[in-house]
């Protein structure tokens, strides 16, 4: 982490290495599905600001914006086959994100959990660590590479593998609530809660597999809204934003 130590802005960051989980659906902006150009460019600007703080950034992106758009066609399909479609959707999002980051002056590398070498390089952990040390933003595509999982679990897995200090879940809501705030107007937001509590109460913001993996690895998660301007920077600066989920 010598580059970070030499970075004059590094002190403003509370973390040296983060795993950012971006909701695929957040990329839609106001569109019905797909990738909204203005939205992805705004998110990339927020990532660039954090990179300027000297933070090493790895990203896992979901596939909901593409996959749910074709969900009708996937209905009745073999589950594993549909899941591979979902993983390929995350590859498309990863390519779009990396392209937008390159255009914004960042250097990005996409690494896929499933073999598609003509499109992106495969995930190789030491190589990913090398890229991070070099200040490149690494985008982990295709989730875990296995059906029956989610990109939240991929974020927990890759976060633990690369030694991230925190998983930042950038999503459509501004934290973890007592119930889904989109369905329950009386739901209230936690400023922090433990993994045990989140799992015991079956809080649907993330799947239980992701929570359990982070709990076991003592890898905290911060949930915050990607739609709030400057929220990512405030989270990385250690300011009060979103909900912290911690291990006891």
Ligand X SMILES: O=c1ccn([C@@H]2O[C@H](COP(=O)(O)O)[C@@H](O)[C@H]2O)c(=O)[nH]1
Kindly state whether residue 246 participates in binding ligand X, applying the rule CB under 6 A: no
Kindly state whether residue 112 participates in binding ligand ATP, applying the rule CB under 6 A: no
Separation CA 173–CA 237 (nearest Å)? 20
Categorise residue 100: left if φ over 0, alpha if ψ from -120 to 50, beta otherwise: alpha
Quick check: 96 and 40 in contact, CB under 8 A? yes
Q: How far is the CB of 17 from ligand ATP (least distance, A)?
A: 21
Q: Which of 7, 56, 144, 171 binds ligand X (CB under 6 A)?
A: 144
Q: Which of 20, 22, 63, 98 binds ligand X (CB under 6 A)?
A: 63
- Give the range of 27-35, 40-48, 142-150, 181-189 binding ligand X by CB under 6 A: 142-150
**Which CB, 140 or 195, lies closer to ligand X?**
140
**Which CB, 13 or 22, lies closer to ligand X?**
22
220 binds, among ligand X, ligand ATP, none (CB under 5 to 8 A by kind): none
Q: Which residues pair with 221 in a beta bridge?
A: 167, 245
Of 118, 222, 111, the closest CA to residue 171 belongs to: 222
Separation CA 77–CA 83 (nearest Å)? 10
83 binds, among ligand ATP, ligand X, none (CB under 5 to 8 A by kind): ligand X
**Which CB, 63 or 159, lies closer to ligand X?**
63
**Which CB, 53 or 205, lies closer to ligand ATP?**
205
The two structure tokens encoding residue 180: 């889904």
SS3 of 193, please?
Answer: strand
Q: How far is the CB of 244 from ligand X (least distance, A)?
A: 21
Separation CA 33–CA 25 (nearest Å)? 8
145 φ, ψ (degrees, to nearest 5): 90, 0
Q: Which of 37, 79, 182, 218 binds ligand ATP (CB under 6 A)?
A: 182
Of 60, 46, 159, 28, the closest CA to residue 106 belongs to: 46
Kindly state whether residue 203 participates in binding ligand ATP, applying the rule CB under 6 A: yes
Q: Which residues pair with 82 in a beta bridge?
A: none
242 binds, among ligand X, ligand ATP, none (CB under 5 to 8 A by kind): none
Separation CA 77–CA 13 (nearest Å)? 45
Catalog residues that contact ligand ATP under the rule CB under 6 A: 23-25, 62-64, 152, 171-173, 176-177, 179-182, 203-205
Catalog residues that contact ligand X under the rule CB under 6 A: 24, 62-64, 67, 82-83, 86-87, 89-90, 143-144, 146-147, 149-154
């Amino acid at each position: 982490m010598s580059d970070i130590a030499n970075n004059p802005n590094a002190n403003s960051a509370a973390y040296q290495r983060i795993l950012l989980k971006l909701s695929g659906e957040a990329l839609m902006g106001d569109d019905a599905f797909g990738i909204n150009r203005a939205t992805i460019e705004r998110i990339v600007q927020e990532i660039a600001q954090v990179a300027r703080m000297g933070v090493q950034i790895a990203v896992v992106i979901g596939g909901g914006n593409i996959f749910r758009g074709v969900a009708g066609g996937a209905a009745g399909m073999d589950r594993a086959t549909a899941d591979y479609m979902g993983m390929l959707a995350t590859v498309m999002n990863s390519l779009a994100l990396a392209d937008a980051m390159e255009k914004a002056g960042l250097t990005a590398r996409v690494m896929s959990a499933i073999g598609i070498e003509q499109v992106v390089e495969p995930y190789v952990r030491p190589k990913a660590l090398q890229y991070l040390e070099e200040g490149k933003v690494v985008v982990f595509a295709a989730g875990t590479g296995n059906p029956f999982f989610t990109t939240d679990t991929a974020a927990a897995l890759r976060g633990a593998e690369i030694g991230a200090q925190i998983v930042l879940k950038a999503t459509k809501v501004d934290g973890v609530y007592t119930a889904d705030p989109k369905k329950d107007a009386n739901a209230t937001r936690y400023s922090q809660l433990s993994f045990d509590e989140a799992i015991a109460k079956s809080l649907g913001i993330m799947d239980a597999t992701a929570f359990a993996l982070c709990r076991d690895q003592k890898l905290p998660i911060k949930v915050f809204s990607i739609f709030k301007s400057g929220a990512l920077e405030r989270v990385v600066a250690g300011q009060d934003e979103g909900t912290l989920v911690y291990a006891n």
